[in-house]
Amino acid sequence: MSGEAEAKPDSAVIRDALGVGIAVGLSGFAFGVTSAGAGLTLLQSCALSLLVFTGASQFALVGALAAGGNPLTAAAGAFFLGVRNTFYGLRLSQLLALPRWVRPFAAQWVIDETTAVALAQPTRRAVRIGFTVTGLTLYVLWNLTTLLGALGAEAIGDTDAWGLDAAGPAVFLALLAPMLRTATERAVAGGAVVLGLGFLPVLPAGVPVLVAALAAPAVLWFEGRRTTAPKGTSR
């Protein structure tokens, strides 16, 4: 951690955290609509947001179910997307240094957005404020807008007729795109798209998501081979 001379004002941390929490939390409406369109009940949609609370995994699950996928396959795809939060937790546990009794509760908020805000802070105090404000704002808004989205979907009837079935994937892409900063990350995303779309016509719904996950180890293997290969003589 940086010294106190580089400390960030609490108000600035709270402002940034609220901005992220509000912007992303409102997209829970799209999940509520998508979940209802996939055939989940209001209770099931709200339970997913309350208990799972990781947007990418939730969208992957209901997307696979909407396409007619096996529930176990859909759950597997959502699980593998959520595994990344475990690695976030390893890093955040060092930065937050929370008491043991608090950690199980804080683990529920270990997601992309809280991690991004926390890692951007220069001091432990700022990390804790950023993590807490982002997590609380996002959790409350995400669950509230999930409820409103599911209720709205039930009110308007067939979501496909309104084109709302595309809301989930659109939000997911909007959240993902800004995170692709390096060439390796863009290569993984591009490879996953190619694999997912390529196997979509031939594999059961939900399975192409699992196949697309192979893009990450494939790109990393290629990158490793390229960096360790001996350089040839120049011509």
Q: pLDDT tens digits, residue range 167-204?
A: 556 655 665 666 677 888 888 888 888 887 788 778 76
For residue 55, the SS3 value is: helix
What pLDDT is stored for residue 5 in this prediction?
Answer: 42
Query: Which tops the pLDDT comparison, 4 or 76?
Result: 76
What pLDDT is stored for residue 233 in this prediction?
Answer: 47
Mean local confidence (pLDDT), 161-171:
59
What pLDDT is stored for residue 124 in this prediction?
Answer: 93
Q: Do 139 and 111 contact (CB within 8 A), yes or no?
A: no
Mean local confidence (pLDDT), 84-108:
91
Tell me how far CA of residue 56 lies from CA of 2, 4, 22, 154, 222, in angstroms. 32, 36, 17, 23, 26
Distance (Å, whole) CA 193 – CA 136: 33
pTM listed for this prediction: 0.71
Mean pLDDT for all residues in the chain: 82
